[in-house]
Structure 1
Amino acid sequence: MSILQALEIIIPTALFVAAPLIFTALGGVFSERSGVVNIGLEGLMIIGAFVGIVFNLNFADVFGNLTPWLSIVAAMIAAALFALLHAVASITFKADQVVSGVAINFLALGLSLFLVKNIYEKGQTDRITISFNKMDVPFLSDIPIIGDIFFSGGYITSYIAILFAVIVWYVIYKTPFGLRLRAVGEHPMAADTMGINVTRMRYIGVLLSGAFAGIGGAVYATIIARDFSHATISGQGFMALAAVIFGKWHPLGAMGAALFFGLAQGLSIIGGTIPFLKDIPTVYLLILPYVLTILALTGFIGRADAPKALGTPYEKGKR
């Protein structure tokens, strides 16, 4: 097997595995840029995965090929509403944001498994029959070498995730909304004195994090897992949170980190089919992203400075 043939297998796999991480990491950027720590990304992905699969199973006969898209929309709304719990606890009631996020994770997993048991009378849902299909990007897939590697045999959600990363970068860094969001995450008192509603902006940031994490969970469940159980989402939310930190709270940086994590996960999935990787134990490929994240956080790959007000509840008039 030549290097080009190996890349034609590795890159599309990395892109489709990375897509859920990109969506969820973008949600984490919104929340943490507003100053709210969101450890609950894992739980929000779980809710998105659960709702996406259940919606797909119940409405596949009604909506046909539109079902996967509508499943994602339903998951996005459900996870955003679930994120509202975190927003109320951490913003309105000024609870510890880490504790609130951990509670969201436990609540999401427990609630979803309880509902699965009651609806399907077993520990997991049925498998979905309608999902996204692999595709070749028109025109781009015809480009010699590059087309076969990056634009052939992929899923549309991968390309949408990358497009969303660019859009989120533009929103956060090039629009008045993004300036206000960053302001309440850096210095909420100064933002308040300029007439910015700190509470509202933080609520928006957390709700957007829920919406994006819901999309990520639904994409993972409907494309990769194809059903929902206790192990459908098993650490992907924490990987997305690590991507936010690895990417230094920048949308494009988070996307790059998520792509790298996706590459590592993809290698662990298909490593046995690549001649020069089949002798490497899978566990080494799985731990590589975490090792590099630790190195990034300890300063070996540059400092990762969080928004200055991250994790600090804002009390009006109090320094």
Structure 2
Amino acid sequence: MARPRLALVPGEPAGVGPELCVRAAQRTWNADLVAYGDGRSLLDASDRLGLPLQLVPPDTAHVAPGQLRLVEIANAASCRPGTPDPRNAAAVIAALSRAADDCLAGCCQGLVTGPVHKATINLGGIAYTGTTELLAAHAGCEVVMMLANDIVRVALATTHLPLRAVADAITADGLERTLRILGAAMRTGFGIDTPRIAVLGLNPHAGEAGHLGREEIEVIEPVLARLRGEGMRLDGPLPADTAFLPARLRGVDAVLAMYHDQGLPVLKYSGFEQAVNLTLGLPYPRVAVDHGTALDLAGTGRADPSSLFAAISTCTRLAAGRKERRP
């Protein structure tokens, strides 16, 4: 089987993304990495780290540690570590869009993304809520956010919403759509034929039979019953305070949390450095680091590359798995 080719987007050039990509270029991977971004930022990062870096054309067949294929997308302005420049917003978005184009065209089999600074993109005059939303709109599909490490996979029914808006956002149609996307991703991406998904309730004690809220009775339980009738293996709705106990997680392939801070603190506590962010539902695997731009660490050489390394490894497995299962 041919090695998968992965697009690698460093993200915000003033953050830790370029440094992490330079560290990734020092390793041998089971995939061919192609960076999409500003070459000068990568070379400056390599100089600061004292690590070798040679940028080579994207069609280079073989690279050695210290070399990195590059699709050049130049920044509009030079940047200083820790100080984002809104003039570079267009280049950051162009790198993501070009990489996504190449994934949709089949030139790359997966996408790995570094952290993007949302405020700087918006200050640059580009309406931007997040890379997940950008890629979903670009591909014209609905997606689900899932974070994962070696201990647990947690998908989200709602993402970045104020807590007071969460209950209204959990609808029968939305929950069913999320579970279908999650189930399909477990089958096609992870090779699990009949995944077992633990679905959390919204309220404390999963509503306590309606005494602490009726969303479980009126919204969640009917959806689960309907999908179980189609053969999906769904546990729940489960009280969130006990659902993550090791004994309860045994045999569970993924957990669906109703909102961001219901599930992600547990995942991050169990292994933040190795956690990755996956976008389920795209026509290609997309895996991101599970941290921000870390502007306070940019330029210091102290940024931990573990999450990027985990993202590359995860995307490699997902891309290779898709190729193996393709008819």
Does the alignment reach a TM-score above 0.5?
no
Q: Which protein is richer in helix relative to its size? A: 1
Structure with the greater relative contact order (CA < 8 A, sep ≥ 6): 1 or 2? Answer: 1
Q: Which protein is richer in strand relative to its size? A: 2
TM-score with structure 2 setting the length: 0.21
TM-score with structure 1 setting the length: 0.22
